[in-house]
Every structure is written in structure tokens, then in C-alpha cells.
Structure 1
Amino acid sequence: MLKVNGQAGSATIATDRAATKAPLPRVLYLSFFFPPSRASGVFRGRATANHLAQAGWDVTVVTAPRDFFGYYLDGASDESLEATVDSRVNVVRPKMITYHWERDVRRFGVFRGTFPTLSDKLYRRVQNWIFPEYYLGWAPGVIRKSLALHRERHFDLVIATGNPFVSFALARWLGRRLKIPYVVDYRDSWTYNQFTDELLFPEDGKVMRWESRIVRDAAEIVFVNDVMRQWAADRYPFAVDRMTVVRNGWDPDVLGQVPHAPADPDRPLRFGYLGTVTGALPLDVLFEGWRRARGHPLLAGAELNVYGHLGFFPHSAGPLRSRLQREQDAGVRYHGAFSKTEAAKIYGQTDALVFCPGGTRYVTSAKIFEYMATGKPIASVHAPGIAAEEVLRGYPLWSAAARLDADHAAEALIAAARAAREAGPAEHEAAQRHAERFTRDAALAPWEARLRAMVEVAR
């Protein structure tokens, strides 16, 4: 029997269910960001759908139109990701009202083209009245398609992942309408800024009321770490018994096995940062710390190679590209975006990794799980006490800045350089053993078991 951290593996569950001829539990999964989207949250959605399908669920994913990512988000897609979605997953892409994102006047309707100011005012008023989020235009298509699919064959469960958080409102509406349980997955925070720890909406405003209703009626409320769960528990104590944690993880089917590759003693070290670069990252501290660390003999001539998209939207790219270019004299090299399927090759060419998320104690960052899976040295440059430290503890090749300043960042980078030069196969193997605890399947297996029990009770 396949085991994952003591849990029966998805292949065994699927086989056992097939042997008993029991009907497959049918789930409607609302995941706006799904392949080919390249948004960071897409990997959790992809992994959840795949895991459920492999565990013997009939999975229907309702997501955004494909051209939304390519046209309205200016190519924010990774076509290679679609091939990694399990063939048993039914992916549905209903049409979407794209008023907010449309900037080409040639595509405006008659009313908007003739009365643009009045049209915008009416649009914002209706949006704020119904659900104050730009992604509201996704809702009509989701409702129509979901109801039609349910008429063909009933769903047993609705799961919604956010952001966007209109998916939560849709899950609640559909759950009540179809008389089935719904689950919400807080992939990100909704009503507070996890980078500044500040509320984003008025205490007595519409969004807070929406969140309270959604949490009140949900069968389960899921968070990616316990710090986020605790914030919600303090705010909504009436639902604390339904709040759980399902961590992110890394994807062996995409990353594969990164073998031990000692740093070439005849060339300078290569550090790497892989992930989206945003203005929330502490780049000034990182780059000043990098410059200071480069004065150490271990980092003489070292490179800091940056791979990833610049921001989440097109307007973010220019300033971030300029910021990186200013560090070229210090060996910082920006290599552009990469597909998920190229990650293993890039990791193989890298001697040590830089973990540099922005934010406060609520931040885990899905990237850290993949970093650990490589077995490479990791230098942490971020505010101390963030949630990511919970999973990094025990990783044998981790060096962390005690404070978020240039001197401590330099110390962490130098320690990672030393590990890159000195660590051997045993340390690499120990690091990967630590990471094995954090695969996606290891995180998702207990959740899948709870969802199955929930459906069986509801049936």
C-alpha cells in the first residue's frame, strides 16, 4: 500500500473505491487562477484538483477563460502547466464580463463608448452593491454553468479557493442553492494585508459582512498556515472548530529529483532567486547585503541570478527591471521568466538559493517548499518570525538573517556560501529528507479524507 506520512496514498484510495463500486464523490472546484495562468496560487489549485482526481473524485474545475490571462493580463500564462493537469479533471471556462480590464475603446459597447463616465459610475455602483471586487464579472457565467452541470449530475461538494474572493461568495450561494456543503480555502488573506498586518476594509463594511456570512455557513475553512488560521479564529470564534490548516507543498511530478551537484571549485558561486519579483520584497536590504557579502573571499565574483516575472501586472515590470539593472555591477543578473517545467534545470545550475519574501508573520510563500526539495543551501533575507520559518526549522542547510538589515543579510549569504562549498552528499540527502515531509500529497491527503467523510455524511 502506498503511504504518505502515514496516510493511505491517493492511488490506494482510488483502487479501494473502484473495488467497492461506490459512486465517485463529485466536487465542483472554483479556482479562478488555474493553468495556463502563471499566478503563484495556481500551483495549489492544480495540485488540489489533481490530488482529488487521483484519489477517486469526479472533479470539475470552473476557472477563468483562457484568453483572460493571455489578453487582459498581457501574457500572464504558462502553457506548459496545462499538460500537468490530470486528464480526469474536467476544466470548464465560462464566459466572463471583462468590463474592468477592457482598455481598447474599439471593444467598448455603444453605451460605454458614448457615455464612458456615466458607464463607469454605474458599473462601480452595481459592483459595490452586489460584491465589491473587480472579478465579479466572473460570477454570472460560473452560476449558469454550475447549475447546468448540477442538473446533469449532482455535485456533492463545492470548494472555492481565493483569491479572487468572489469565488467564496459563489461557493456559499451554490452550496445553499444546491443544498450541499461548501469549503473555502484561504490561499491568501482577504480582509487584511498580510504584508502590513492592516485591515483592508472598514470594520462594519460590506466586505467584512460578506466574510462573516461565508465563514459562518462554510463546512470547513482552510488556511495555508496556523498564523492565518489564528487571525480568523480570533475574529470569528463561532467557527473555530471548522478552521483547519492545509499547508502548501512542492510538486514532485513537476520538479522531479534534484541530484547533489557540488559547486565547481574553479568558478565563483552562483546564487539564485526563483519566483515573482514584486515591490513588496525587501530588495534594498537584499542588494546591500549582497554587496557586503561579496567582499568575503567565499563570494568573490559570485553571481545572484534572478529568474521570474516582474510583478503580477504589466505596469509593474518597468520599475522592477530598472531596479535590478542598477545592481548589475554587483553581479546581479536578471534572466527573465521561466516555465515551471524548466525549474529543475535552473536549480541544478545554482549553488545556493536566496529566500526573500516580503511581508509580516502571516507569510509562508509556496516557493520555500520547492527550495527545500532541491537540497541546496538556503539564505533567508526577510523579517524574522514569518510563518515560513515553521517549515524551515530542521532544514540542515538553512541560514537566516537574525534581523532584516544589510549586515545580517550578508551574514546569512556568507553562511550559505560556506555550505555550498563544504556540504556533501550526506547533507544534501538530509535536506531532501526534511523536504519529503512537505510534498503536496502529504499536505493534501488528510484534507481529502476529511472532505470524503463530509460528503458521506451529507449523502
Structure 2
Amino acid sequence: MPSPRRRPRVLYVAFYFPPTRASGVHRAVATANCLAARGWDVTVATPPREFFERQLRSSDPSMESAVREDVTVERVPLASHLPWERDVRRLGRVHRLAPVLAGDVHDGLRRLTVDEPYALWVPPLLARAARLHLRRRFDLVIATGNPFASFVAAWALGRALRIPYVLDYRDAWTLELFSERPAFPADHPVWQWERRVLAGAAEAVFVNEPLRRWHQARYPFAADRMTVVPNGWEPELLAVEQHLSGPRPEPEPSAAAAAERPLRFGYVGTLTDQLPLEQFFDGWRRAREHPELAGARLDLHGHLGFFPHHAERLAARMPLGSHGVEYRGPVAKADVAATYAGFDALVFLAGGARYVTSGKIFEYMATGRPVVSAHRPGIAAAEVLSGYPLWYGGDGLDPAALSGALVKAARAARAADPGLGEAARAHAARYTREAALAPFEQRMRRMVDA
């Protein structure tokens, strides 16, 4: 009788992994969970909890509950905390006795590779991965960036262990997304590093088609190994039942807002400096003068920036406490579904240009509620929204146009047309994490089997 087939084993290099609340962490968790659910032995390499809690001060302990119990998490310390440590007593002896020399060495090593302070995570990561591989071999390495020191680590492990490696560009390394210009001078070593890691990668994954096309044009030798795995939404997070086979029952459509009560608009997500806050709130103030939005309120849920020092600057850019605008703070994972259920319509704020797709837009569509867009036209998120029947705006940041989009969304919320709601949820169903990641997992399995 043949012996049971060994589960394929993957090392997933994900610097930003729970408990951090950094951008992209949901994609990392979803990828690890999907692989584990489909029969992979998954080991995640990430920094210690203390680094996110104390050095970065960007932590949400509740995020760890989203990680499957059968995912092994290896916490690999950084070789140096010099760029982040504020207490000199916690630095090593060399740093305390010769701080200038230590800083010069750190900066020199960083500039020679990926020009990131995270470059000194790579040596201890390689050592830990090699020990784990000797105990029980890995079949595949997947690295997600940023930071892109993870890509250098994947390249080094692929060469040393003679196993394939895959790069997940959930962000752009050498393209500045918001200005659409190269992020480094032409003679910077990072260009050679990107060329080097792409040359050896079995596959390079991007979150949208515009990003893939940009990289294909720049690195044509790897174009046929570049794919798209979009972001998505988790049915369990929004308390939506999901069936992997057969029809999936849709949630009940939201009830029409009573004509006599003010409407409730909502924003859920991290508020950042890149968002067009001034233009949107100008449009919001104008829209509230319309009878449809008389007394309407806008509740903002999420963190003010990724780090504590961002909060004051961002709060100053918004009319908090006036014009019906209130900041409600972050939303606990257990409260996400109830938070969305309390809104009549949603506001989608996005910075950047054609290469930007926000992960939150998938959740917004899954609610089946009207969505008002406030961003430049032609961004990658617009491609996702283009088939959503309750989408308003998206054609620019003129305050008058934004005001008109808010009024249209208000009318749709009052009407709550069941047919439109059903069509909206059907469109969103194409973007569950399962739908996005299943083809990727199948390609990884074929790669390992080969």
C-alpha cells in the first residue's frame, strides 16, 4: 500500500504579519491561511511581536486571531534596531560606545542592498531558514514586499537551498505609486537587485494589471512569469456565509432608509496623508445643503495614519466635530460586520494614481451598499468598481462633482432597490479571497509537483 503523500512545505517570508496593523497585513494573513487550508505545511517568517509593539508602535493584537492555528509562525529578530530604537540603553555595546561608526556601518550595508532599514533582518532570517530546512526541507519560498529585503532573502534562499521562490508585490519596489515616477536614481544599486531577484523568480505576483504591465515593460525577460492576484474580502469577516460548491445564499438586502431620518455615511480604513481629504470634505459640506442629505452624518472608522505621530496632522485636515463628521476610532475585528451594517452608504477615499488598488474597496462592495468614490480618475481601484451598480463618483476631485455623487448615493440608499443590491453583491462575490487565491495556490502546487 503506498505511503501517504507528504504535504508540500512552504516558507512564507512576510515581514508585516500580525500583530502589526500595517498596510497589506490582511493579504499576508489570507495567503498563509489559504495555503494551510488547502493542505500546505506553512511556516511564516516575521519579526517578534515586541518589534511591532515597541519599535514601530503599530500593533493590533486582535489581528493574531485571524491566523489559522495550523500556520507556524517563526519570530526572527532583526540584527539591529538602530533606526527605530529610542532608548540608547537597549542598543548593543558597539552602538553605545561608537554610535557614529555603528550608524555608518548600518547605513552602508543598507545602501549596498535594498536601501531599507530592514536590510539587517536578512542575515538572521537566512540563518533561521537554513536550520529549519535542515530539519525538514522546504519545497517553496514565497516572499511578500514591502519591505523588499524579503525579496533579497527569498533570492538567497532559493539559490542556497535549490528550491523555487515566488515574489508577491503587494506594493511597488522601484515605482513611486503616487507620483508615478521611479523611486530611485538610475544608478542606484536597487535596480540591479530587482533585476537579479526577478531573473531567478519562478513567478512574480502583482495586485493589479497596471502594475504588472509596468514591470513587464521594464523587465521583459521575466514578463511571462508575471501574474496578477488581486486583493479580496473575507466572507467570515463580514458574517457572510460562503459555500465553496453550489450556490451561495446572499445576505438580506439593506432596508431603505426612512425618509424622515438623516442618512449615515461611513468610511472604514486607515486615514493617510495621501487621501484627498480637503477636496472630499468641501464636496461633503456642499452635499449636506441638499434636502437628501439634510442632517446626514459621516462616521470615520480606522487609525489616523500608520504610526502615532501621524494622528495630529491628519486630524487637522478634517472638520471633525462639525458638518456631521465624527472620528470613531479603529474597529475591532469582531465589530466589522456590525459597523458596516450601521451605514446607509460608504465613502471610498483613495490617494495615488492608476497603480493604486485599496484593499478596503472589496469589503465595501461586499456590503451591497452605495459607494461614493473620491479619488483621481483612472486608478486601478476603478477597474474593480466599474461593474458595481451602486458606484457613484470616481471621475475626479472637483467638489461640485463629489457633491453630486453623494446626492446620487443618498437617493440610492433611500430607494434600496433589491435588484441593484443583488447585482452589487454578485459583482462583489467575484472578489472573495478564495476566488483570488485559489488559482495562485494551484499554480504553486503544480510548481512543487514538477
TM-score category of the 2 structures, normalised to the smaller one: over 0.9
After TM superposition, give the deviation of residue 20 of structure 1 in Å: 8.4
List alignment gaps of at least 5 residues for structure 1: 1-18
Match of 1:345 in 2: 338
State which of 96, 102, 115 in structure 2 corresponds to 1:113: 96
1:332 to 2:332 alignment:
no
Match of 2:61 in 1: 79
After TM superposition, give the deviation of residue 344 of structure 1 in Å: 0.8
Match of 2:31 in 1: 48
Task: Give the whole-Å Cα distance in 2 for the aligned partners of 1:321 and 1:423.
Answer: 33
State which of 401, 404, 409 in structure 1 corresponds to 2:402: 409
After TM superposition, give the deviation of residue 304 of structure 1 in Å: 1.1
1:61–1:91 Cα contact (<8 Å) kept: yes
Larger proportion of helix: 1
CA-based RMSD of the aligned residues comes to: 1.5
1:138 to 2:132 alignment:
no
Task: Give the whole-Å Cα distance in 1 for the aligned partners of 2:196 and 2:68.
Answer: 34
Aligned AA (1:269): L
1:290 to 2:272 alignment:
no
Task: Give the whole-Å Cα distance in 1 for the aligned partners of 2:338 and 2:416.
Answer: 20
Task: Give the whole-Å Cα distance in 2 for the aligned partners of 1:77 and 1:264.
Answer: 39
Match of 1:323 in 2: 317
Task: Give the whole-Å Cα distance in 1 for the aligned partners of 2:350 and 2:333.
Answer: 19
| 1:50-92 Cα distance to aligned partner (Å, 9 max, x none) | 1001111111111111111111122x22222211211111111
After TM superposition, give the deviation of residue 436 of structure 1 in Å: 0.6
SS in 2 for 1:160: strand
- Name segments (4+ residues, structure 1) moved above 3 Å: none
Match of 2:244 in 1: none
SS in 2 for 1:411: helix
State which of 42, 45, 63 in structure 2 corresponds to 1:62: 45
Q: How does 1:266-281 map to 2 (within 5 A)?
A: 266-281=260-275
1:377–1:398 Cα contact (<8 Å) kept: yes
Q: Which segment is superposed worse, 112-121 or 226-235? A: 112-121
After TM superposition, give the deviation of residue 236 of structure 1 in Å: 0.3
After TM superposition, give the deviation of residue 400 of structure 1 in Å: 1.7
Task: Give the whole-Å Cα distance in 2 for the aligned partners of 1:138 and 1:379.
Answer: 41
Match of 1:88 in 2: 70
Task: Give the whole-Å Cα distance in 1 for the aligned partners of 2:115 and 2:377.
Answer: 34
Task: Give the whole-Å Cα distance in 1 for the aligned partners of 2:320 and 2:287.
Answer: 14
1:287–1:327 Cα contact (<8 Å) kept: no
State which of 201, 208, 212 in structure 1 corresponds to 2:184: 201
State which of 361, 369, 373 in structure 1 corresponds to 2:362: 369
Aligned AA (2:302): G
1:360 to 2:343 alignment:
no
- TM-score, reference length from structure 2: 0.94
Match of 2:228 in 1: 245
SS in 2 for 1:252: coil
Task: Give the whole-Å Cα distance in 1 for the aligned partners of 2:16 and 2:391.
Answer: 31
2:12–2:45 Cα contact (<8 Å) kept: yes
| 1:373-406 Cα distance to aligned partner (Å, 9 max, x none) | 0111000111011111111122111112422211
1:296–1:414 Cα contact (<8 Å) kept: yes
Match of 1:38 in 2: 21
Task: Give the whole-Å Cα distance in 2 for the aligned partners of 1:93 and 1:203.
Answer: 35
- TM-score, reference length from structure 1: 0.92
Task: Give the whole-Å Cα distance in 1 for the aligned partners of 2:307 and 2:48.
Answer: 17
Task: Give the whole-Å Cα distance in 1 for the aligned partners of 2:238 and 2:191.
Answer: 39
Task: Give the whole-Å Cα distance in 1 for the aligned partners of 2:276 and 2:391.
Answer: 19
Identify if the C-alpha distance between structure 1 residues 319 and 63 changes in structure 2 by more than 3 Å, giving closer, same or farther. same
1:182 to 2:162 alignment:
no
State percent identity of aligned pairs: 53
Aligned AA (2:119): L
Task: Give the whole-Å Cα distance in 1 for the aligned partners of 2:22 and 2:238.
Answer: 17
Identify if the C-alpha distance between structure 1 residues 83 and 206 changes in structure 2 by more than 3 Å, giving closer, same or farther. same
1:448 to 2:430 alignment:
no
2:113–2:193 Cα contact (<8 Å) kept: no
2:113–2:189 Cα contact (<8 Å) kept: no
Aligned AA (1:241): D
State which of 298, 301, 306 in structure 2 corresponds to 1:307: 301
After TM superposition, give the deviation of residue 289 of structure 1 in Å: 0.6
Identify if the C-alpha distance between structure 1 residues 329 and 187 changes in structure 2 by more than 3 Å, giving closer, same or farther. same
Match of 1:13 in 2: none
Aligned AA (1:23): R
| 1:29-67 Cα distance to aligned partner (Å, 9 max, x none) | 001111111112011110001100111111111111111
User: Paired residues, what number?
Assistant: 437
Task: Give the whole-Å Cα distance in 2 for the aligned partners of 1:264 and 1:142.
Answer: 57
Q: Which segment is superposed worse, 340-349 or 279-288? A: 340-349
